[in-house]
Amino acid sequence: MCPADRRQFLAQTTAALTASRLVTEGERTTRLAQGRSQIPTTNRDPQNHSDPNLHLLVDDHEIARHENVSRVLNRMHKHPGPVLVADRPWEGERAQAWGSVIQEPDGLFRIWYFAFNTERRWDELDRGGYCYAESRDGIHWTKPDLNLFEFRGSKRNNLFYSCAPDGVNLVDEELARRGVGLPAIDEKGETIGVINNLDGLTVVRDDDDPDPQKRYKLIANMQDHRMWAPYNPQRYPNVTPQQVNKSARVFGQYMDTSPDGIHWTRRPQRLMAARGGDYMMVTRDHRNKQ
């Protein structure tokens, strides 16, 4: 490869090298801040997520030959401490990023996360929940008062979701013991039971949906916690076998929608029934617009 051809090759592929950098003949190539090139719109198989225009070049798999070129991977540096901590009464002892982070077009970072009370006393039925925070730099986070769900008589908190029909924050186990939750709507639009637990939630922004009321999608593994009564009889002493069987049919992957990522319909509809195990984290397929 002659020097001119090599420079042309580097210019065409630099945009894809967001995780690495090339050094050639002592001159360091520059990375394009704009990111990847536009992907042409074609009729693609929705099950095929391969992008023929994406070449990461993190190894030599797609390189026929190279000369006077070295690959140098940037070293990541871990932040010295947690950037999001449980410091509110309803958050319990742990703020867990068992949720998702997105960056809006204006640069705002948004996180939807779980708060856990791992050392909850038997009489504390309301600590923990589904919380929201935002940041301009991804390091310093604020927890706005959303005024949506009640915690100990006040709505001044950052709880963005609750499975309690009356909006009073309770732990999933207590909702299950009371046999209450949000309506569980199946693929046909029929109510098949109640939901009182969200496991591994993901929030994505969907700019391809023509309905602005559905701009944000929340997808999670949802269930009626009474299905676990046979494995935790001390927690659910009054759950009958019939209730266990009915609650097990609710188990699946559900979706809720929102115009702003804060106000949700709280009528999640099932996308598919559970097939065993946990289903965690969903990413947006921008090429196939789904």
Residue 31 pLDDT: 33
* Tokens found for residue 78: 């871990």
When comparing pLDDT for 165 and 117, which is higher?
165
Q: What is the pTM of this model?
A: 0.76
Alpha helices in the chain (DSSP H): 3-13, 172-178, 241-248
Q: Who's near 272: CB < 8 A, 6+ residues apart? A: 187, 252, 253
* Tokens found for residue 255: 């979706």
Residue 58 pLDDT: 77
Q: What is the CA radius of gyration of the chain?
A: 24
Q: Could you tell me the maximum CA-CA distance found in the chain, to the nearest angstrom?
A: 78
Mean pLDDT check: name the lowest of 29-38, 67-76, 240-249, 279-288: 29-38
Q: How far apart are CA 11 and CA 29, in angstroms?
A: 8
Among 29-33, 54-58, 113-117, the range of highest mean pLDDT: 113-117
Residue 245's φ and ψ, nearest 5 degrees, are -65, -40
Q: How far apart are CA 203 and CA 104, in angstroms?
A: 12
- The answer to whether the beta carbons of residues 99 and 202 sit under 8 Å apart is yes
Residue 14 pLDDT: 44
Judge whether residue 277 has pLDDT over 90.
no
**Euclidean distance between the first and final Cα of the chain, in Å?**
41
When comparing pLDDT for 274 and 267, which is higher?
267
Q: What percent of the chain has pLDDT over 70?
A: 79
Residue 30 sits at the vertex; the CA angle it makes with 27 and 34, to the nearest 5 degrees, is 170
